Amino acid sequence: WDVSLHIGNGRDDGALANPAHYFILIGLFGIFVAGCTAIVLPPGEENKPGPSAVRITDHWYAPVGGLVMAGCGLYALMGFPLDDM
């Protein structure tokens, strides 16, 4: 949908000038929130969320997948406005 609008209309006037960009931005924010939720919600200190969990504090372990999702979502959100430069 976004690509077809760009093919038909050319470049956008701004980051949110295209209606498809709203859905892209909501999806990227959802990926970031899902990663942060995965980091915050693991079980207690005796149950690590997986064998490769990353220790954040003495009793708090975060799953690697949650860290990767949050990092990728944040990176994509930071790069979203760079499309207009």
User: pLDDT class for 11, splitting at 50, 70, 90?
Assistant: confident
pLDDT higher at 37 or 50: 37
pLDDT in tens, 43-73: 766 778 888 889 888 888 899 999 999 999 9
The CA-atom distances, in angstroms, between 70 and each of 6, 7, 22, 59, 64 are 29, 32, 20, 21, 10
pLDDT higher at 68 or 14: 68
Residue extents of the structural domains in the chain: 19-84
The DSSP bridge partners found for residue 55 are 61
Q: CB–CB of 27/47 below 8 Å?
A: no
Look-up: residue for tokens 């009793």?
59
pLDDT in tens, 26-36: 999 999 999 99
Maximum average pLDDT range among 5-9, 16-20, 58-62: 58-62
Separation between Cα atoms, residue 58 and residue 45, nearest integer Å: 8
Q: CB–CB of 38/65 below 8 Å?
A: yes
